[in-house]
Amino acid sequence: MFIKEYSKDQKLVLLGVCLYYMGLGGFLFNSQTSVLASVRAIYNFPMTRISLYTSFGYAATILGSALLGPVIYKLPQKGKKLYFEGMYFAGVAGFLMLGFFAETPLFFIARFLIGLSVSTISIITPYMLNQWIHYRTSTAIGISAAFTGLGGMISNPLSSFLCRTFSFQKGILILILISACFTLPSFYFLFRRPVPEGEFKRPASGKTAGSGSEISPAKASFAALVILVLLVASSRVANLFVSYLSIFAQSEGYSEAFGASMASLLMFGSIAAKLIYGALCDRIGTWKATSVCELGVGAAMLLFLFLPQYTAVICIGTLCYGMIYGLTNMSANRMCMAALGYEGTRKYQGLLTAIGSVAGLVCSPMVGIIYDNTGNFHIVFISLALMMAVCILLCLAMDRMNRQKAE
């Protein structure tokens, strides 16, 4: 296997990233799907309150991506470690607020803190792997990101079980404890040695391995930047439905337990999505790989829209929708590398992610408003299916532009 060709330091950093994804992304962030459904059932919250909760998460991602994300690149090793630790404990504080203060305004602050902590995952961890690993980088990022789905696949049914067996608050405390068992050891593996900032070497051909053409950000065309903004924003908007998956199942007459199982199935789909997306980026290029994920998400929306009465179809649609995790967790980094090159990624990825989060922030309340006024997600499904179709065309356009520049 290609991992055998990695050095000891590269393997340990990859292990550290995997553990960080597992603890923070898997056992905290992704378990929100079932935890939020339990909160809504316990307190009988309207969907508009849940949508506003999601909006606070996007506001936090904007802050983390646009302001804090670029800052960490300039920090010394000790500062980077403190940043990672601070972001994790911000997420823990958010979950404590979610468990003990859901009926107060701290409910929204909880989502802000959780979103702020997870902004570390989408930007900084791929950056670290880009620094350490220069061979099949996309595959390595896909492997590590898959641990978010693995943690979520376990934590969603686990959180549902814990909340039924113990009090809601005790269930959250147990989840936090499990999360710490993975996340705290990751700090050692990530920071046992300084990041080799000066060791990155570009191939003589002018291309970064598996990432596409190396294009100077100063010379990148305006059209390419606009397309990147649209693609990143679309993935963030499509990701909105993740928080409503269990609620959608219940609205179609399925039990709360089945909704939790769907969340687990979604996490399984996310594992496959990240592995597939990473491998495809290295094999067929970023733009074709991104199109595959967008096709999966669009297909899921059509299945949810036309055949929700069939359990098997709902399950297949959930697996397809899991491809959204390839788009939201990895595509911004890979598309920036493909269109803007290594230095451009450091400069623009945070900004593009922040712009995408603004789109999520604006659209998030609309999901709740649509559901409260129609009693279903049909308009949401149609809109997202059309959006994915447009994104596929944009990816094909970017692929053509890159090939022309390479010539």
Q: How far apart are CA 332 and CA 311, in angstroms?
A: 33
- Which residues, in sequence order, are CB contacts of 320 under 8 Å at separation 6+? 269, 296, 297, 299, 300, 303
pTM to 2 decimal places: 0.72
Query: Is the confidence at residue 224, as pLDDT, over 60?
Result: yes
Domains of the chain are: 2-192+209-406 (1.20.1250.20)
- pLDDT-based confidence at residue 205 (cuts at 50, 70, 90): very low
Structure tokens at 38: 């339990």
What DSSP designation does 207 have?
A: E
Q: How far apart are CA 400 and CA 221, in angstroms?
A: 13
Residue-level pLDDT at 390: 95
In 162-286, the DSSP E strands lie at 207-208, 212-213
Residue-level pLDDT at 199: 46
Structure tokens at 113: 């803190």
Residue-level pLDDT at 405: 67
Strand partners, 213: 207
What 3-state DSSP class applies to 133? coil
The mean per-residue pLDDT over the stretch 235-261 comes to: 80
Strand partners, 207: 213
Q: Which amino acid is at 190?
A: L
Sign of the Cα pseudo-torsion (201, 206, 212, 218, in order) = positive
- Lowest-pLDDT choice from 360-364, 372-376, 385-389: 360-364
Task: Report which listed range, 142-151, 156-165, 220-229, 287-296, is most confident.
Answer: 287-296
Q: Which residue is associated with the tokens 């899921």?
A: 300
Structure tokens at 312: 């098997």
At 9-48, the pLDDT tens digits run 888 999 999 999 898 888 888 777 677 777 877 888 887 7
At 62-93, the pLDDT tens digits run 777 767 666 776 778 788 888 888 889 999 99
Q: Which residue is associated with the tokens 């903004």?
A: 229
Q: How far apart are CA 139 and CA 211, in angstroms?
A: 11
Residue 212, φ and ψ in degrees, nearest 5: 105, -165
What 3-state DSSP class applies to 311? helix
Structure tokens at 245: 């998956």
Residue 45, φ and ψ in degrees, nearest 5: -75, 145
CA separation (Å) from 11 to 128, 191, 208? 13, 13, 20
Q: How far apart are CA 60 and CA 37, in angstroms?
A: 21
Residue-level pLDDT at 2: 66
Cβ(163)–Cβ(30) below 8 Å? no
Best CA proximity match to 147, nearest among 240, 323, 275, 244? 275
Q: How far apart are CA 134 and CA 232, in angstroms?
A: 24
Cβ(356)–Cβ(303) below 8 Å? no
- Which residues, in sequence order, are CB contacts of 82 under 8 Å at separation 6+? none
Structure tokens at 208: 């970064």
Residue-level pLDDT at 206: 37
Mean pLDDT of the chain, nearest integer: 81
The mean per-residue pLDDT over the stretch 90-99 comes to: 89
Cβ(324)–Cβ(301) below 8 Å? no
